[in-house]
Amino acid sequence: MSAAIQNAVKKALNEKTIWQRVVTSTLDTLRPSAKALHPILMPVLDRLSMHRVHKAVNIEDLRNAAQQRAHPMVYAYLDGGSGDERSLKRSIDSFSQLQWKHAVLHGIGNNGVNTETTILGKKYAMPYFLTSCAGQRMFHADGEVATAQAANKHNLHMALSQLTTSSFQDVRNAHEGAKTLQLYVWKDRALLKDILDRAKEAGFENLALTADFSWVGNREREVRNDFTIPPSYSLQQCVAAVTRLPWAYDFASREPYRYQAVPEAKFPATSLAKFIAEQMKPEFNWTDAEWLCKEWGNQGKVVLKGVIREDDAERAIKSGFDALWISNHGGRQLEDAISPIVQLPNIRARVGSGAEIIVDGGIRRGSDVVKAIALGANSVAIGRAYLYGLTAGGYTGVDKALQIINTDVKLTMGLMGYSSINNINGKDIIVPRDWQ
């Protein structure tokens, strides 16, 4: 184990209060019994939440189901944005400003719609994929494995966060196809290189550098709900856990999660949270990015995630990135950051038709996916839409979210008169004048 990790572990343990030590010890004592009873008690405790999942007809229904199952601080992290959350709301609302001009008598039947497309060099069933999110076992104890299983079932590409709480190997076993590792630039290049090597060994083909997380946004809803990764067992957190028994029991009956991508990190996430925060490199620049592209080598494609400006998009292509990922980090970083879908046409115009472009932000319906393709995206990354499902019902919840989106993608294409996702015409969509 590296000296840096050892010091982080010791520091975290020494900073625990007496209350936190008591709660931690109590949970450690009860966990084996809770684990043994999990197959019996968990289905009973989760019955109402699973009922909500099965009854859901859209992503908003899954969002409500997630809120009623998740610990309040976990839901605050999942659902919140920065500041007054204007960027988050605008990213969602921007899609409602786009209007279709649909065709009639187009002759396309129920079996005449082809949604297959190529994402980062591989063909998938849909023009969208499941984006990365750190610490998915905080939402549901099955975490990233449940996400991978659902993506695999629907033949969808997926990205896994560097801060995953499931191992690379477990995710690989759950998802047979190509996957992308989403990475942050850390100060310790040796540690970063070790993570890259382990990802290559696990079969990850692509790399996405998240460039808009050099500073952490002002996430007031998280502060208000006493959010920590993982739970710090504060009094506020413990009281709130009593109101969400399915989540609390699921958490208490499983092994404490840890950040699996950190080499030799055989300790709960509590011991490593500050270490990881200290590893973030706010001053990382284009030179670091170019080093990363070279380090990944011929393993697969390298994507720059977090692009919003046209000049950054152009420079990314010149610096060696194979694709651009337009994103404002789900409205969780810079307040009043422009909506990604608004910038999509501008960036496409700057880099031309040859560059591969991914876009995320505010996707809640399959029609949103089709709108993004119409405006110039090659593919769309969804985050909260499937995470609401994961939080509400594990694998079953993710599966339901993907069913909802898939159905809506096909319905939108059928109503518009598109036989193939690759034939979508941007001239069929009305863009607000103030976007142009």
Give me the active site residues, please: 329
CB 257 within 8 A of CB 135: yes
3-state secondary structure (DSSP) of residue 233:
coil
CB 218 within 8 A of CB 82: yes
User: CA 326: distance to chain centroid?
Assistant: 14
Strand-pair category, 379-382 with 179-183:
unpaired
Round to whole Å and give the CA distance between 159 and 181. 6
CB 377 within 8 A of CB 358: yes
Q: Give the CB-side neighbour count of residue 45, counting CA atoms within 13 A.
A: 21
Give helix then strand counts, H and E, for the chain.
18, 12
Strand-pair category, 122-124 with 128-130:
unpaired
Round to whole Å and give the CA distance between 145 and 151. 10
Alpha-helical (H) ranges within 46-188 are: 47-55, 59-69, 72-79, 86-96, 143-153, 168-174
CB 138 within 8 A of CB 132: no
Round to whole Å and give the CA distance between 420 and 228. 45
Backbone angles phi, psi at 339, to 5 degrees: -70, 135
CB 93 within 8 A of CB 398: no
- Amino acid symbol at 64: N
- What are the structure tokens assigned to 178, written together? 């190509």
Alpha-carbon distances, residue 250 vs 49, 116, 197, 241, 355 (angstroms)? 13, 37, 33, 11, 44
